[in-house]
Amino acid sequence: MKLKKHTTALGLLATLAMTQAMADTTDITMYYPIAVGGPLTQVVDNMVGDFEAANPDINVTAIYAGNYDDTRVKALAAINAGEPVQTSVMFSIDMLELQRRGVIRPFDDFVKTDEDKQWLQSFYPALMQNGQLEGQTYGIPFQRSTIVMFYNKDAFREAGLDPEKAPETWEEMAKVAGKLVKKNDQGDTERWGLMVPSTGYPYWMFGAFAKQQGEALMNQAGTEVNFNSPKMVEALQYWRDLGTKYEVMPTGTIEWGTLRQEFLEQNTAMMWHTTGNLSAVMQQASFDVGVAQLPASIEPGSPTGGGNFYLMNSGSDAEQEAAYRLVKFMTSPDRSAQWSIATGYVGNSEAAYATDELQEYAKQVPQALVARDQLNVATAELATFEAGRVRRVLDDAIQATLTGQASAEESLNSAQSQAERLLRRASRG
């Protein structure tokens, strides 16, 4: 009888201890822009699991919400419905709108120690251009990228080209692409020299052409755009000429979502695409893959792209503090290196590339360093107020030109005037 009472007492103590532990646990929700299932989900799940193991007082629920737009819509809808969402990875270019709507908090509110300050200052400056506003940091780079040129080295060899030398100028790119076009006996094109995607994110590709012309698509404050300057018109005309004049690329639009497969199936010898495709391309290609920085017109360069971690203005102080700890963990050098190796996205800091893991990986896959090196000539991605509408206006102009519905000048003049009207309304809002 005494033993039974003793056992019951121990059980009660264990229950009380468990109840106390549960009471001391903070639950947070993270929205993330990938679809449910698949290898990327597993990578994020493993990283979150490692965080929870190192921080047993925090439970993280990761919600995989689809693409960037889906993630933003779903995260904000949850907040509006009264459901706490403490952190999310969303488009880096959403920062202006998110900050204006008051749904995100600056990381500066949580930076207290020297170690915190060192972390906040550790990221590549090019990646922070779409994360800082008025001296405060609202976005921390994680799933970030630049546009790079993937090319088929075997096709280069077949065409008598140096497989270690990708084209470095627009003129060279058109010439090299011409040599890479392959036709059958009936004159049908079996392999194009180059493909640049013009659905999905046309504005992003155009941002690369613009940077290579020495131009910026917008001012830093996101209140003005520069779509129709003479050099911008030249850039869009060159893009169209790759199909119509040089005949090295299909005319019309080229699908973002299927272009990687087109490259892997050797339907094109070169493609412009996100470095986020690197790991998949390297694993799946049946040929020797080269990766190079984008070519120059006046200068080289690419816009950055991808997603930032944000701290949402949602939940209790303890929950927001827990979310801050999660973001610090996920963006630490070791985790950034792990993410870069698994995906091809660019590491977010010099410290990430100094890790043993990423240094060893770079020895085996030197292509992984191209996007990092291109950060030296990178620029901010198109980010304005009324961001979605402004991007859509520019996307429509690009596609109208590429499909022959309007000239480059007509399309960009229209885009400029429409964007200016949108931004005037935004400034009054």
Q: Within this chain, do residues 269 and 394 fall inside the same structural domain, yes or no?
A: yes
Say yes or no: 32 and 68 in one domain: yes
Of all residues in the chain, what percent carry a pLDDT higher than 70? 93
Average pLDDT for residues 275-281, to the nearest whole number? 93
> Collapsing DSSP states into helix, strand and coil, what is residue 32?
strand
Kindly state whether residues 258 and 361 are assigned to the same domain: no
Label residue 10 by pLDDT band (50, 70, 90): low
pLDDT tens digits along 388-417: 999 999 999 999 999 999 999 999 999 999
CATH number at residue 76: 3.40.190.10
- Among 338, 360, 379, the domain boundary falls at 379
Residues 116 and 106 in one domain: yes
Question: Both 38 and 50 in a single domain?
Answer: yes
Total tally of structural domains belonging to the chain = 2
Are residue 162 and residue 50 in the same domain, yes or no? no
At residue 123, the 3 state secondary structure works out as strand
Cα distances (Å, whole numbers) of residue 179 to 151, 157, 168, 182, 190: 13, 11, 15, 8, 13
Q: To 10 degrees, the CA torsion angle through 298, 371, 374, 130? A: 100
Which residue, 379, 397, 414, sits at the end of a domain? 379
Please check whether residues 15 and 106 belong to one and the same domain. Answer: yes
| Same-domain pairing of 289 and 313 | no
User: pLDDT tens across 354-364, in order?
Assistant: 999 999 999 99
Distance CA 181, CA 251 (A): 14
Same domain for 272 and 200: yes
**Its pTM surpasses 0.85:** yes
pLDDT(5) > 70: no
314 and 282 within one domain: no
Q: Determine the structural domain holding residue 199 and report its residue range.
A: 146-304+383-428
Tell whether 126 and 63 lie within a shared domain: yes
Residues 207 and 240 in one domain: yes
